[in-house]
Amino acid sequence: MGAERDRAMALLAKAQEGVSRLLPAGLVVNDAHTHLGLDEDGMTLAVDDAIAAMDEWGVSRALVFPLHEADRAPAYRAPNDRVLAWAAASEGRLVPLARLDLADEPIEEARRCLALGARGIKLHPRAQRFDVDDRRLEPVFALAEEHRLPVLIHAGRGMPPIGEHLARVSERHPGAILILAHAAIVDQARIATLVAGMPNVFFDTSTWGAADLLGLFARVPPEQVLWATDVPYGHHASSIAVLAAVLHQLGADEATTRHAFGGGFEGILEARLPTLSSPLGEPALTVGYDRLRVYSYLSGAIPLLWLRQLDVVGFCGLASGACVNGEQGMAEIGALIEAAGDLWAATDPGAERREILPVFRLFQLAMVACLCPDAGRVLLCD
């Protein structure tokens, strides 16, 4: 597996050089979505590893909160205390949010954590099994409004539509700053339609790929968008690359890019809401059929990868074949896919997640280059 991994890492390093060409010099990068601890699903991120990764990828600060920890009862107190202690020792690098369980004294826990240094609140309706319109949330949002606090809300997979509920919350509590995680993919079109132009509502970019972000920027002002990783589930490098490519493809100016990657984060911590402009994108996308074919094949491959299965369908071969059309940039996309397929085939299905992560990152780069061809050429071509 050594040769396959070396080839994959060389291509990732080359793409990272391309990312630097998409970003302005001296960019301040802040992460709006970082987990710490040990989740019941086995995912883990230790504080030293989190800081090391931030240093590696040039991340200045991060909003941090506990994973779905086994010792979360009562009231998420023990996981919150660990995160608060780690943040206190980080010299301002880690900005702690208190994670709440609505079934167990949420307001009391929120007030306790705020007194100990928490700077906001994390709510996870799917993991804690509550609805966004749950009456027990009203005092939580009222507390956030009283102190002008950010409330980060899971809005990704595994939930029912929540657009109307979130819009009503933002209207009732304009002083509460809502951050909708994962680009609100659970109900993006409806949510964006209802809250576009509300300066107290933001969307973080911790989602699967360029299509979600292109759709988001077509619907909401760019000032409502915050860069985020979702580590340890996401990765700094690919998260930076996807947002940088989308902003470049859409012709974002330097000020917009700086706001998305870090300025909006700082404004939220200072309870300073942005002046909003118009959405950047268009409601439709024009790309070649072969690029769509590659994107669809890789979309089919990724679930197999997540489930630690081999490419039994042959998605990599189909995607590679679609790249052989002579269009500028497609050969470089094909090289990513071939390297990813070789590494995937050489990796033991029972290997740890970190062993297969480079395959996923190569797929992400190929997919963003398919939908953002101008940015893809900067990313991948010499």
Structural domains of the chain in order of their starting residue, each with its CATH number: 23-269 (3.20.20.140), 289-380 (no CATH)
pLDDT score, position 285? 86
Mean pLDDT score across all residues of the chain: 92
pLDDT score, position 268? 96
Spatial separation of the C-alpha atoms in residues 246 and 257, rounded to whole Å: 10
pLDDT score, position 382? 64
pTM, rounded to two decimals: 0.94
Radius of gyration for the chain, computed over Cα atoms and rounded to the nearest angstrom: 20
Q: Which of 151, 218, 226 is nearest to 182 (CA)?
A: 226
Kindly state the DSSP code that residue 260 receives in the 8-state scheme.
Answer: I
Q: For residue 179, what are the β-bridge partners?
A: 152, 202
pLDDT score, position 95? 98
Pairing mode, if any, of strands 59-66 and 29-38?
parallel
Spatial separation of the C-alpha atoms in residues 42 and 123, rounded to whole Å: 20
Distances (CA, A) of 326 to 14, 320, 378: 21, 13, 17
- Conformational region of residue 27, where left means phi above 0, alpha means psi within -120 to 50, and beta covers everything else: beta
pLDDT score, position 128? 57
pLDDT score, position 354? 75
Question: Counting beta carbons within 10 angstroms of the beta carbon of residue 162, is it exposed (0 to 12), middle (13 to 18) or buried (19 or more)?
Answer: buried
pLDDT score, position 159? 66
Kindly state the DSSP code that residue 58 receives in the 8-state scheme.
Answer: T
pLDDT score, position 82? 98
For residues 143 and 136, the answer to whether their CB atoms sit within 8 Å is no
| Helix boundaries (H) for the chain | 2-22, 47-56, 77-88, 106-115, 125-128, 138-147, 163-172, 188-195, 210-217, 236-249, 254-258, 264-269, 289-306, 315-322, 330-346, 353-371, 373-380
Q: What's the average pLDDT block by block, 10 residues per block, for the chain (382 residues)? A: 90 92 96 95 93 97 95 94 98 97 90 97 71 76 93 82 76 90 91 89 93 96 97 93 96 97 96 94 87 96 91 96 90 96 90 84 95 93 72
